[in-house]
Amino acid sequence: MIVNIGAMPVDDAGPLRTPVRQGTLGVIATGTAASGPVLNGLRAAAREVGYALVVFSVPGRGRSAVPAAVAGLRLQGVVGIVLLDPHLFAEHPPVVGVPLVPAAAADQYDGARRATEHLLEMGHSTVWHVGGPEDAPIARARERGWRETLERHGADVPPVVRGDWSARSGYRAGQSLAVEVRMCAVFTANDHMALGLLAAFAEAGVRVPRDAHVVGFDDVPEAAYFAPPLTTIRQDFLAAGRQTLVVLTAAIDGVVPLPRTTVEAELVVRESSRPSVS
């Protein structure tokens, strides 16, 4: 399915390093990325500099999916293409007749490092992890950041409690962790799993932040209104969209090497990891 998303030029492009341009950019998205925050950030950044977007949603990650999408986008006359699912870039060489780059994203590893170190600095001897699906590259990067941070600090590495990004899986993880006598700090691979985990803890009588500290990842808009408000790793999707345009514009202009494709992740501290006052 092809969805056209227009972006009108504006007079004030804001604090961008990308000059105002004209033309249409192609975006290839898989699954929920076709309507998620990464695309929203890219769309907002494109509006700032006058690019229009044509989004090509592919159903999966088969070897023919990206070439077919590229062919369809080239028929639309795009001047460059962004892959919203970054790992697809490694699977498909960018020799497609038009510049093709992965979407910029927050440094997943560094975000996990920041979350884990924050919990260790609270005085915890180790940090448990509710991880995302094993086949998800961002879940693996976050898990690796957590694991290697514990190892660098000489802390024990508990077994990963596996989730699927949903609040339901976080709830199940919380049920199992609530009876773990060594459990006192948990880093969840996304905020929705943290939501489920907090609900399970509350039902089991585990009080956050008195009995346990919890940190999520993403800083979804609802995170500040969880009970308690959730400490999390913020991904600035607008900044990522702007950086994606910097990289793609450089590729269009033939710049080598291309600029970086990551943006800094930010730790946002809220009640779920603050010292207890009881």
pTM above 0.75, yes or no: yes
36 Cβ neighbours under 8 A, 6+ residues apart: none
Residues 64 and 171 in one domain: no
More confident: 152 or 101: 152
Given pLDDT bands bounded at 50, 70 and 90, which one contains residue 180?
Answer: confident
Give the 3-state secondary structure of residue 129: strand
Other beta carbons less than 10 A from residue 207's beta carbon: 13
Q: Is the pLDDT of residue 7 over 50?
A: no
The crossing angle, in degrees rounded to 10, of helices 237-252 and 37-49 is 60
Instruction: Give the pLDDT of residue 262.
Output: 87
**pLDDT at 44 exceeding the cut of 80:** yes
pLDDT band at 34 (very low <50, low <70, confident <90, very high): low
**Count of C-beta atoms within a 10 Å radius of residue 57:** 18
What Cα–Cα distance (Å) separates residue 84 from each residue in 137, 241, 250? 13, 10, 18
Do residues 122 and 213 lie in contact, with contact meaning Cβ atoms separated by under 8 Å? yes
Of 94-103, 187-196, 255-264, the range with the highest mean pLDDT is 187-196
- Among 84-88, 155-159, 186-190, the least confident range: 84-88
Give the pLDDT score at 183: 75
Is the domain of 33 the same as that of 151? no
Same-domain status, 83 and 137: no
pLDDT at 182: 67
Q: What secondary structure letter does DSSP report for 248?
A: H
Of residues 68 and 120, which shows the higher confidence score?
120
The CATH code of the domain that includes 50 is 3.40.50.2300
Q: Are residues 114 and 202 in the same domain?
A: yes
Mean pLDDT of all residues in the chain?
85
- Evaluate whether residue 21 is within a structural domain: yes
How many angstroms separate the CA atoms of 228 and 272, rounded? 6
Q: At 4, list the tokens.
A: 């056209």
In a domain, 243, yes or no: no
One domain for residues 149 and 169? yes
Show the domain range for 36: 2-103
Same domain, 46 and 147: no
**Residue 19: band (very low, low, confident or very high) from pLDDT cuts 50, 70, 90:** low
Domain annotation covers residue 239: no
Please determine, for residue 1, whether its predicted confidence score (pLDDT) is greater than 70. Answer: no
- Whether 73 and 156 map to the same domain: the answer is no
Q: Where are the alpha helices (DSSP H) in the chain?
A: 37-49, 65-75, 87-91, 108-121, 137-152, 167-177, 191-204, 237-252
Establish if 259 belongs to a structural domain: no
- pLDDT for 93: 55
Q: Are residues 113 and 220 in the same domain?
A: yes
The band of 38, judged by pLDDT with boundaries at 50, 70 and 90, is confident
- State the pLDDT at residue 124: 95
pLDDT band for 12, please (50, 70, 90 cuts): very low
Total domain count, the chain: 2
Are 65 and 153 found together in one domain? no
